[in-house]
Amino acid sequence: MKAWPVLGIVCMQAILLLAHGFIYHTWVAFWGNADPAANLALRAALVVLAFSFIVAALLSFSFSSPLVTAIYRIAAVWLGLLNFFFLAACLSWLVWFALRLSGLAPGLAAYRPLIAAVLFALALGAGVYGLVNARWIRVRHVAVTLPGLPEGWRGRTALLLSDLHLGNVNGLHFSRRIAAMASRLEPDIVFLPGDIFDGTKADPGRLTAPLLKIDPPLGIYFSTGNHEEYGDEAYYTEALVQAGIRVLTNERVTVDGLHIVGVSYGDSGYPIRLRAFLQGLDLVEGQASILLSHVPSRLPIAEQAGVSLQLSGHTHGGQVFPFTWFTRRAFGKFTYGLQQFGALQVYTSSGAGTWGPPMRVGTHPEIVLLRFE
Convert the pLDDT of each residue in 293-331 to its tens digit.
Answer: 999 999 999 999 999 999 999 999 999 999 999 999 999
Mark whether 228 and 309 lie in a shared domain: yes
| pLDDT for 178 | 97
Band of residue 6 on the pLDDT scale cut at 50, 70, 90: confident
Q: What is the 3-state secondary structure (H, E, C) of the chain?
A: CCHHHHHHHHHHHHHHHHHHHHHHHHHHHHHCCCCHHHHHHHHHHHHHHHHHHHHHHHHHHHCCCHHHHHHHHHHHHHHHHHHHHHHHHHHHHHHHHHHHHHCCCCCHHHHHHHHHHHHHHHHHHHHHHHHHHHCCCEEEEEEECCCCCCHHHCCCEEEECCCCCECCCECHHHHHHHHHHHHHHCCCEEEECCCCECCCCCCHHHHHHHHHHHCCCCCEEECCCHHHHHCCHHHHHHHHHHCCCEECCCEEEEECCEEEEECCHHHHCCHHHHHHHHHCCCCCCCCCEEEECCCCCCHHHHHHCCCCEEEECCCHHHCECCHHHHHHHHHHHHHCEEEEECCEEEEECCCCCCCCCCCCECCCCEEEEEEEC
Mark whether 262 and 159 lie in a shared domain: yes
Q: Which of 108, 133, 158 is the last residue of a domain?
A: 133
| pLDDT for 263 | 96
Mark whether 80 and 188 lie in a shared domain: no
| pLDDT for 2 | 60
Q: Which of 114, 133, 152 is the last residue of a domain?
A: 133
| pLDDT for 199 | 85
Cross-sheet strand order for the sheet of 220-222: 138-144, 366-372, 157-160, 189-192, 220-222, 246-247
Mark whether 109 and 191 lie in a shared domain: no
| pLDDT for 355 | 95
Percent of residues, the chain, with pLDDT higher than 90: 80
Q: For residues 130-143, give the mean pLDDT.
A: 98
Distance CA 192, CA 352 (A): 11
| pLDDT for 7 | 86
Distance CA 34, CA 205 (A): 52
| Residue 367 pLDDT exceeds 60 | yes
- Looking at per-residue pLDDT, the higher value among 211 and 232 belongs to 211
Find the CATH number of the domain harbouring 201.
Answer: 3.60.21.10
| Residue 1 pLDDT exceeds 80 | no
- Looking at per-residue pLDDT, the higher value among 103 and 367 belongs to 367
Q: For residues 166-179, give the mean pLDDT.
A: 95
Mark whether 179 and 85 lie in a shared domain: no
Number of domains in the chain: 2
Distance CA 93, CA 85 (A): 13
Mark whether 68 and 204 lie in a shared domain: no
**110 in the Ramachandran plot: left (φ > 0), alpha (ψ -120 to 50) or beta?**
alpha
Average model confidence (pLDDT) across the chain: 93
Q: What is the pLDDT of residues 212-252, one digit of tens each?
A: 899 999 999 999 999 998 877 888 999 899 888 999 999 99
Mark whether 245 and 157 lie in a shared domain: yes
| Residue 196 pLDDT exceeds 80 | yes
| Residue 127 pLDDT exceeds 60 | yes
Q: What is the pLDDT of residues 274-284, one digit of tens each?
A: 999 999 998 87
**58 in the Ramachandran plot: left (φ > 0), alpha (ψ -120 to 50) or beta?**
alpha
Band of residue 105 on the pLDDT scale cut at 50, 70, 90: low
Beta bridge partners of 143: 371
| pLDDT for 110 | 79
| Residue 360 pLDDT exceeds 70 | yes
Burial of 164-178, coded b for 16+ CB within 10 Å and e otherwise, reads: bbbbbbbeeebbeeb
Q: What is the pairing mode between strands 309-312 and 337-341?
A: unpaired
Range of the domain at 313: 138-372
Mark whether 294 and 160 lie in a shared domain: yes
Mark whether 126 and 159 lie in a shared domain: no
Q: Which of 133, 155, 180 is the last residue of a domain?
A: 133
Mark whether 66 and 185 lie in a shared domain: no
Mark whether 207 and 103 lie in a shared domain: no
Phi, psi at residue 372, to the nearest 5°?
A: -85, 130
State whether the Cα torsion 48-49-51-56 is positive or negative: positive
Cross-sheet strand order for the sheet of 289-292: 251-255, 258-262, 289-292, 309-312, 344-348, 337-341
Band of residue 106 on the pLDDT scale cut at 50, 70, 90: low
pTM, two decimals, is 0.92
Distance of CA 9 to the CA centre of its chain: 19
Longest dimension (CA), the chain: 76
Mark whether 160 and 222 lie in a shared domain: yes
